[in-house]
């Protein structure tokens, strides 16, 4: 689906957002995961032809991002992280405008917009000016655009940031319904676990690890995470919390000693690498 070779990006002022990233992605639903500023959005913007890399190259849907951006743009949908609705326009109008930009006829745009809005349970709100919608509903307008455009690759940059739990579940359901390949970024571990066939851990512009969630978590098989606020009581320190990994059968002893026991999640991949993730 896509590949990169030594992809780097340094912004004006010398901030290095990506550092020689080389990777191949061939799973249908892939999540780039990392904390804010890790380089996820930069990578997504480069892959979706919105931003030029400083060096290196990438292929998306078989086309070179630098030499063939127009061919790529016909095959992708990209929903930026901070995209906001135009307050006076309704969800239906946003959708139709976007689909017409993608080459749909007015009639097709109308039909596909209605279908997507129904699927996301936004049909009743279709004619409300978007400045009267909740934050979650506004975000869902953009997911509905991707759903209606239904293209080969959909890039979603933090699609559920700022959404309440119910809206988040609805967006997840909608993302699962997208038919093409999906590349999303998130800093929610449970989102990556819920949606992605493969996760790619990004930190400081580099790829830390890549693989299916189960495979990445295999090193923790039979273990749990125990946490304490007592100094020196763990192998890893996250803020004021000390963490260590112990066998599941020993967990009860640690509970008696005042430790909190947590099940293993993708967070732990970052913790063992000394990266503090957001709660």
Binding site for another protein (CB under 8 A): 45, 48-52, 69-70, 73-74, 76-86, 88-89, 93, 96-98, 100-103, 105-106, 129, 142, 145, 155
- State which residue, 92 or 217, has the beta carbon closest to another protein: 92
In angstroms, give the least distance from the CB of 118 to another protein: 21
For residue 224, give the H/E element and its range: strand 223-228
Give the CA distances from residue 212 to residues 48, 54, 55, 153, 263, in Å, rounded to whole numbers and listed in that order: 23, 30, 29, 19, 18
Residue found under tokens 């503090």: 276
Give the CA distances from residue 199 to residues 48, 144, 180, 212, in Å, rounded to whole numbers and listed in that order: 19, 24, 17, 6
Contact 197, 27 (CB under 8 A): yes
In angstroms, give the least distance from the CB of 204 to another protein: 22
In angstroms, give the least distance from the CB of 84 to another protein: 4
- State which residue, 97 or 272, has the beta carbon closest to another protein: 97
- State which residue, 48 or 167, has the beta carbon closest to another protein: 48
∠ Cα 156 158 161 (to 5°): 140
- State which residue, 66 or 173, has the beta carbon closest to another protein: 66
- State which residue, 83 or 264, has the beta carbon closest to another protein: 83
In angstroms, give the least distance from the CB of 62 to another protein: 16
DSSP-assigned letter for residue 217: G
In angstroms, give the least distance from the CB of 35 to another protein: 21
Of the candidates 79, 191, 73, 89, the residue with the CA atom closest to the CA atom of residue 145: 79
Contact 160, 167 (CB under 8 A): yes
For the chain, the distance separating the N- and C-terminal CA atoms, rounded to the nearest angstrom, is: 32
Which tokens belong to 51?
A: 């931003």
Residue found under tokens 């506004």: 138
Task: Let me know how long the chain is.
Answer: 279
In angstroms, give the least distance from the CB of 126 to another protein: 14
In angstroms, give the least distance from the CB of 176 to another protein: 22
Burial of 252 (0-12, 13-18, 19+ CB in 10 A): exposed
- State which residue, 20 or 71, has the beta carbon closest to another protein: 71
- State which residue, 31 or 79, has the beta carbon closest to another protein: 79
């Amino acid at each position: 689906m896509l590949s990169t070779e030594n992809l780097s990006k340094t912004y004006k002022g010398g901030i290095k957002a990506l550092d020689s990233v080389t990777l191949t992605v061939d799973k249908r639903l892939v999540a780039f995961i990392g904390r804010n500023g890790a380089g996820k959005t930069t990578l997504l913007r480069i892959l979706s032809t919105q931003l030029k890399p400083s060096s290196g190259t990438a292929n998306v849907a078989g086309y070179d991002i630098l030499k063939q951006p127009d061919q790529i743009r016909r095959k992708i949908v990209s929903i930026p992280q901070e995209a906001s609705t135009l307050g006076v326009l309704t969800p239906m109008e946003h959708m139709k405008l976007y689909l017409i930009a993608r080459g749909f006829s007015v009639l097709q745009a109308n039909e596909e917009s209605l279908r997507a809005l129904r699927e996301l349970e936004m049909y009743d709100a279709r004619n409300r000016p978007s400045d009267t919608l909740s934050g979650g509903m506004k975000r869902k307008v953009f997911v509905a655009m991707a759903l209606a455009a239904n293209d080969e690759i959909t890039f979603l940059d933090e699609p559920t940031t700022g959404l309440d739990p119910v809206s988040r579940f609805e967006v997840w359901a909608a993302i699962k319904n997208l038919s093409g390949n999906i590349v999303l970024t998130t800093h929610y571990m449970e989102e990556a676990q819920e949606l992605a066939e493969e996760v790619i851990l990004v930190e400081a512009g580099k790829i830390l690890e890549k693989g299916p969630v189960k495979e990445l978590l295999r090193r923790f098989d039979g273990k749990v995470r125990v946490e304490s606020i007592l100094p020196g009581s763990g192998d890893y320190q996250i803020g004021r919390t000390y963490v260590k990994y112990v066998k599941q059968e020993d967990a009860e002893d640690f509970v008696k000693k005042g430790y909190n026991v947590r099940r293993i999640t993708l967070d732990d991949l970052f913790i063992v690498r000394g990266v503090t993730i957001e709660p």
